[in-house]
Structure 1
Amino acid sequence: MKTSTQRGFTLIELVVVIIILGIIAVTALPKFLNVSQDAQVSSVKATGGAFKSGINLARAVWATRVGSGPAENLPTFGGSEAGEMDFNDAGWPAQHYFTDDEASPQLDNVEDCISVWEALFEGDEPGVSNSNSSDETDYKANYISPNQCRFNFNDNQNLSIYYDSRNGQVSVDSDPNS
């Protein structure tokens, strides 16, 4: 009768495999930890691109319907009052109020920043609120004198979208460590 011998891994072989797996984990782990931060950066870049597109589209409507000078309650997006915007002398969105009667609308406070954001995105997503508010929104708006806004991403305050209504500039600060 034959006896079979079972052969398994030696302790040395198991230790070597564990060390190799540890080295792989140490080199791969940081890559997986940055996935959340990369997703936040991508989200802010996408929102900034959508904001810039909305600003440019609103400007195109102003150029087509008005052409020069300020405009108040200009139907820009859809047919309701929610889609009306006020434009400054240079033709850039400055605010969204349908009760005002200003000769020359200006972006001059945080409420104006929020109103432009909400008119461009036509809804609650992505949400924005005043930087002093305790509301849980995606972005916090700050007014920067003169005629500029910064929308800080709530999950990472180093990520933000900047808007200058003097020249229509929209930029995204997407360095999560700045």
Structure 2
Amino acid sequence: MMKTFKYSAGFTLIELVIVIVILGVLAVTAAPRFIDLSEDATNAVTQGQMGAFKSGITLLQAKYQIRQTTPINIGGQSVDFTPDGWAQGSTADTAGCVDLWNKVYSSPEPVNALASYNSPLVTGWNAYYYSGACGYILGNAGEVFYDDTGNPTQVHFVYFTQDLTVSTYSGNAGDVKMYNL
């Protein structure tokens, strides 16, 4: 003899439709937040690198204030300073910015020297010189740093070795500022 059940276990079609609609609404609202995590990660890395760079510059400036001479031999490297006591590269160009990067960090990540601020980026850290300031940007090969109107398009930080006010950048000697965040 077969038993018959009055109620069968399971979901009705309406319950399934409601669950699918709720999941769809959650996906539409939450997905954009998680889709572009690479940009958030790049921004966080740039902020961290800027903080480390700023700390290094501050320590070098403190050492200059104690000794009141330039250059100063620190960690086996000769560091040059401006008359105001701020660390600077060995030359006033992009090669000097790379030189400064390597002197600020005890174990620096590789940094590529850009021919100019509007050159295509190389994968990793890139350095450029602009009127008394060194800029550093984390990029991917072939990316363009400046748009057609001459404005920077990506997150980067700038170290000012002298006071500078131009359309794109403004800062005093010793400032380390984040741009396009």
TM-score relative to the length of structure 2? 0.76
Aligned to 1:104: none
Structure-1 separation of matches of 2:108 and 2:54: 18
Structure-1 separation of matches of 2:43 and 2:161: 24
Aligned with 2:89 (options 87, 95, 99): 95
CA offsets, 1:133-178, max 9 Å, x none?
8885522111111x21111221484111101112111111252xxx
Structure-1 separation of matches of 2:113 and 2:124: 11
Matched, 1:171 2:180: no
Structure-2 separation of matches of 1:35 and 1:95: 34
Where do residues 1-178 of structure 1 align in structure 2 (5 Å cutoff)?
2-4=3-5, 5-66=7-68, 71-72=70-71, 74-76=72-74, 78=75, 80-81=76-77, 84-96=78-90, 107-125=91-109, 127-132=110-115, 136-145=122-131, 147-155=132-140, 157=145, 158-166=154-162, 167-175=173-181
One-letter code of the match for 1:41? N
3-state SS of paired residue (1:71): coil
Sort the Cα spacing of 1:173 and 1:134 in 2 relative to 1 into closer, same or farther, 3 A.
closer
Between the aligned residues of both structures, percent identity stands at: 34
Sort the Cα spacing of 1:135 and 1:160 in 2 relative to 1 into closer, same or farther, 3 A.
closer
TM-score relative to the length of structure 1? 0.77
Gaps of 5+ in 1: 97-106
Gaps of 5+ in 2: 146-153, 163-172
One-letter code of the match for 2:133? Q
CA offsets, 1:7-59, max 9 Å, x none?
32222221111111111111111111233222211111111111111101000
Structure-2 separation of matches of 1:171 and 1:137: 22
CA contact under 8 A between 1:44 and 1:174: conserved in structure 2? no
Structure-2 separation of matches of 1:19 and 1:118: 55
How far did 1:124 drift? 3.7
Larger RCO: Structure 1 or Structure 2 (Cα < 8 Å, ≥ 6 residues apart)? 1
